[in-house]
Amino acid sequence: MLRIPLPSLSVATLRRPRVRRLRSLLVAGLLASVAPVSAQPLPDGPRLRDLAGPRGLLVGAALGDNFTSAGMGAATYAAYTTVAAREFNFFTAENAHKFGRLHPTDTPPAYTFTAADRYDTFARQAGGHFHGHVFIWYKDTSIPDFVVNTTTRDGLLAILNDHIDTVGARYGPGTVVWDVVNEALQNSVAATPSNWRDALRHPSTDHWHNIIGDDYIELAFRRAAAVRAARGHTYRLVYNDYGNESLSPKADAQYLMAQDFLARGVPLEGLGFQFHIGTATPSYANIRANFKRLSDLGLDLYITEFDTITGSGATDLDKQAALYHRVLDIALRNPHFRGFQTWGFTDRTSWLYTWSGNPLGDDVRPLPFTADFAAKPAYYAIQDALAYEHRAPLVQNGGFENQLAPWSPSAGSVPAATFALSAAAPHSGAHALLVSNRVAATTGPVQDVYPVLASSRGGTGFHHLAGWFRVPSGPTPVRLVLRVTDSTGATRDFPVEGVAGASWTRLSGRVNVTWNRALVAATIFADTPGSTADFLLDDVTLGDGNLLANSTMEDGVDGWTALGSPVLSEETTQARRHYGDRGLRASARASAWNGPMQDIRPALLAAGPGLYEVSGYMKTTVAGRVGKLTVRLGVGGAYLHHSVAREIGADSWTRVSGRIELAWDAPPATAILYAETTAGAEALDLDDVLLRKLADPVVPAFVAWQALHFDEEERADDTLAGPAASAAGDGMPNLVKFALGLAPGDTPPADAAPRLSRDIAGSLTLELRRAIASGVLVTVESSGDLQTWTPLAVEPAITPDAEPGHEWLSFALPASSPKAFYRPRFTLP
Ligand code: XIL
């Protein structure tokens, strides 16, 4: 067990037994609630919907046919619905909402909703959203005869309209996205702006096209918009297809169609990319480019039917995970991306098992869960992609690419400078921001970051603030500042400072953001203390609590040095970067332990001991190597190593990840993080590395009680009870300390809160030291008889402690007569 030094008080022996007991209770409760549903353990890490939901993202799957307990078998249905509801907030029906299924009889216009209703109901009961699939599809093989036999434009339009009106009205309330038309384009007809309609599926294979004409798509969109408006629903109207994901003639035709629709006011609002990847490795750069040109039109982007054809071997599964990760990651980097859906979610059932073009026979294993509902590497790939973006930059338009918004000039109503996008010499991309004609040193761009900082993406704690400055007139002090205002009215600045000159200079630093009570405002701004020089700004980021500089390698080798004698190089070829434009390679390694390293000592000392998460993507050129990420602390002339390790791929990226506990009595003399293999000296690729603190030490939150304004006589009345009783006193008058034992995940039991009851007639200030990372809420209760306790409505004033991760809570307690007793109460939010 680690011993964590705490000022003036050693509490380790006091806490240990309590922590153990609480943990074993928790584990027992967890297993009991999971076991009856599925033999499979809960996947590690957060649920997908918990990662996506707070960011307004949709993550989900198509739910298959026979969606009843009888249809699937009770045990399967129970596991199927449990996993779906637990992981997803976005659901579609694989078939039940298709035209033929809604009109199974041949009597126009008869509707049968029984099966279809189950999906929509499930989505609502799971607290999720529904995806309508699909109003109009040429291939709906079960298009009833009454459709096929309708051969006049007006006749078929009447059927189309009635269908959209009826189905739209019925499922509109819980639906957020509707595929209005599916697969209307051919695969390889070259299109031009004037003739994109030539790329429409040939009338001989598409009854809707054949009878209504080539305007059937826009008529369907207009009708869907009309019923939506009439009913006050809010779903987005989407065109869905396959083969439209990357750059291709079909994608070009789709692009031209979208442009044309938008120009003429056809209510197209988004695109669905099916992403039935098959066995291919797609061109990620082309997907990114295609997504970008469509989102530049203002369209929402959805991945609607993702699956792959990959075998079930371990390498296959890792390859599959890499495909899932790369595609989702690219999508998440597009600000118009709204949702990710797989076509089914368990390998138990997939349309690919019967699809005729399936080259692997039954061994296609397309989805993120096994047939037995265990999470596959592909599941963790989705989780990781969502989680990474979850922690990704909190600043919008940090690259000043095409607009100034949401940045604004700092000077209120008076134009105190000229703000212009400059294409002259951007740090990256096409533009940087040029600020000139400044009237004050504080004139600069400001961005409101309150929404992200106040949300679950931000919060108090460590954030990484960085940006690039250029001051053409020569060396000048520059700074980036995160400014917060809290509900006590206090404003605090968290600056990152440096000096920039005529070439681009990076400012980068970690800020430990704190505020009292509630956050009221938060901004980021850039300025030049002491001067009004023109300056350029680019690539501003406010990141998560990652302790590493340049963790994505997007700044090349910058921040990384060699441990041993390897040569470090910035890699831009697709195989050597995990996401983004660059990866890092260590070649000419002299032995297995050679690799890229980073000095993490300053960041680590600021963050303090505790539980850390380490992860990174690794790759070598030889199969079967074990990749390792190590934090090495130099303590008392020796090295302490804390590693996470995993076998890594030769031709695919593998995520090496885990949790480590770091502790020290005296600050370590050195602290580095490095990547290595346990054998071999082949070139080692590294990308997207994360080191962040998850929690304070797995010893308890430390709470000290300090009661002021007493005289010696009154001290005799102290009542100290509960688990803390033995920790009373500190040799100082008017000061009593005790400890509360809590490990991360523990819930303080109501009856075991340590309590110091003070018989007091005068007013009193109560001070408590709290470990912030534990998230324990502290309130105060009072009692006249030590039997009945009543919560007091006193808000604490909060002061950060000198030691990071802790703060002081001071409660000003009212005078009471007759005398009252007070005690703190601890709860987890
Ligand atoms: C498929 C279903 O998965 C099968 O069960 C059904 O037999 C045929 O349709 N593109 C689409 C989906 O838009 O509707 C298709 O779903 C798969 C391809």
Q: How far is CA 245 from CA 88, 482, 539, in A?
A: 23, 39, 28
**Is a pLDDT exceeding 60 seen at residue 5?**
no
pLDDT score of 518: 76
Among 95-99, 163-167, 518-522, 615-619, the least confident range: 518-522
Q: Which H or E run includes 212?
A: helix 207-212
pLDDT score of 786: 63
Decide: 63 and 94 in contact? Cβ < 8 Å. yes
Average pLDDT, the chain: 80
What would the two tokens of residue 627 be? 């990749």
CA of 311 to the centre of ligand 1 (A): 21
Burial 242-278 (b: 16+ CB within 10 A, else e): bbbbbbbbbbbbbbbbbbbbeeeebbbbbbbbbbbbb
* Three-state DSSP class for residue 85: helix
CA of 285 to the centre of ligand 1 (A): 27
Q: Residues near ligand 1 with C-beta < 6 Å? A: 94-95, 182, 274, 305, 351
**Is a pLDDT exceeding 80 seen at residue 750?**
no
Instruction: Encode pLDDT of 292-341 as tens digits.
Output: 899 989 899 999 999 999 888 888 888 898 899 889 988 987 878 999 99
Decide: 783 and 789 in contact? Cβ < 8 Å. yes
Decide: 537 and 468 in contact? Cβ < 8 Å. yes
HEC string of 621-681? CCCCCEEEEEEEEEECCEEEEEEEEEECCCCCCEEEEEEEEECCCCCCCEEEEEEEECCCC
Task: Return the residue matching tokens 């290595």.
Answer: 676
CA of 80 to the centre of ligand 1 (A): 19
The span from the CA of 700 to the CA of 724, in Å, is 13
| For ligand 1, atom 13: residue with the closest CA | 182
For 709, what's the count of Cα atoms within 13 Å in the CB-facing half-sphere? 15
Give the pLDDT band (50/70/90) at residue 775. low
pLDDT score of 820: 66
In 3D, which of 773, 800, 813 has the Cα closest to residue 516? 800
Of all atoms in ligand 1, which is nearest to the CA of residue 304? 13
Q: How many CB atoms lie within 10 A of CB 633?
A: 21
In 3D, which of 91, 94, 97 has the Cα closest to residue 59? 91
The span from the CA of 235 to the CA of 179, in Å, is 10
Q: Which residues pair with 521 in a beta bridge?
A: 485
In 3D, which of 653, 668, 517 has the Cα closest to residue 577? 653
Q: What does the pLDDT average to over 163-190?
A: 95
pLDDT score of 416: 79
Burial of 818 (0-12, 13-18, 19+ CB in 10 A): exposed
Give the pLDDT band (50/70/90) at residue 806. low
- Cα angle at 444 between 443 and 448, to 5 degrees? 120
* Three-state DSSP class for residue 447: strand
What would the two tokens of residue 147 be? 């459709």
pLDDT score of 636: 81
Q: Which residues pair with 273 in a beta bridge?
A: 241, 303
Of all atoms in ligand 1, which is nearest to the CA of residue 183? 13
Q: In what order do the strands lie in the sheet containing 797-800?
A: 705-707, 764-771, 806-813, 797-800
Instruction: Encode pLDDT of 197-240 as tens digits.
Output: 999 999 999 999 999 999 999 999 999 999 999 999 989 999 99
The span from the CA of 204 to the CA of 248, in Å, is 23
> pTM surpassing 0.75?
no
Decide: 184 and 133 in contact? Cβ < 8 Å. no
What would the two tokens of residue 607 be? 């963050």
Instruction: Encode pLDDT of 383-438 as tens digits.
Output: 888 876 544 557 888 889 778 888 988 745 455 789 999 998 888 777 899 999 99
The span from the CA of 232 to the CA of 219, in Å, is 20
Q: At 102, which amino acid appears?
A: L
* Three-state DSSP class for residue 797: strand
Pocket test for ligand 1, best of 67, 92, 94 (most atoms within 8 A of CB): 94
The span from the CA of 194 to the CA of 740, in Å, is 74
Of all atoms in ligand 1, which is nearest to the CA of residue 182? 13
CA of 349 to the centre of ligand 1 (A): 13
pLDDT score of 769: 65
Q: What does the pLDDT average to over 165-188?
A: 95
| For ligand 1, atom 12: residue with the closest CA | 94
Instruction: Encode pLDDT of 552-563 as tens digits.
Output: 887 789 889 999
Query: What are the residues whose beta carbons fall under 8 Å from the beta carbon of 775, sequence distance 6 or more?
Result: 828, 829
The span from the CA of 427 to the CA of 374, in Å, is 45
CA of 272 to the centre of ligand 1 (A): 14
In 3D, which of 423, 427, 502 has the Cα closest to residue 470? 502
Could you give phi then psi for residue 587, rounded to 5 degrees?
-120, 175
Burial of 192 (0-12, 13-18, 19+ CB in 10 A): exposed
Pocket test for ligand 1, best of 63, 65, 92, 95 (most atoms within 8 A of CB): 95
pLDDT score of 801: 64
The span from the CA of 571 to the CA of 575, in Å, is 9
Q: How many CB atoms lie within 10 A of CB 511?
A: 21
Using only C-alpha atoms, the chain has a radius of gyration, in whole angstroms, of 30
Of all atoms in ligand 1, which is nearest to the CA of residue 98? 14
The span from the CA of 237 to the CA of 240, in Å, is 10
Decide: 411 and 440 in contact? Cβ < 8 Å. yes
312 conformational bin, left if phi > 0, alpha if psi -120 to 50, beta if neither = alpha
pLDDT score of 804: 57
The span from the CA of 110 to the CA of 63, in Å, is 24
CA of 312 to the centre of ligand 1 (A): 23
What would the two tokens of residue 306 be? 């993702």
For 701, what's the count of Cα atoms within 13 Å in the CB-facing half-sphere? 30
The span from the CA of 349 to the CA of 370, in Å, is 10
Q: What does the pLDDT average to over 356-374?
A: 85
Pocket test for ligand 1, best of 63, 350, 351, 353 (most atoms within 8 A of CB): 351
What would the two tokens of residue 346 be? 């368990």
CA of 112 to the centre of ligand 1 (A): 20
pLDDT score of 26: 25
CA of 133 to the centre of ligand 1 (A): 10
Averaging pLDDT over each range in 13-27, 596-610, 677-691, which range is the top one?
A: 677-691
* Three-state DSSP class for residue 7: coil
Q: What does the pLDDT average to over 355-370?
A: 82
Task: Return the residue matching tokens 């209770």.
Answer: 25
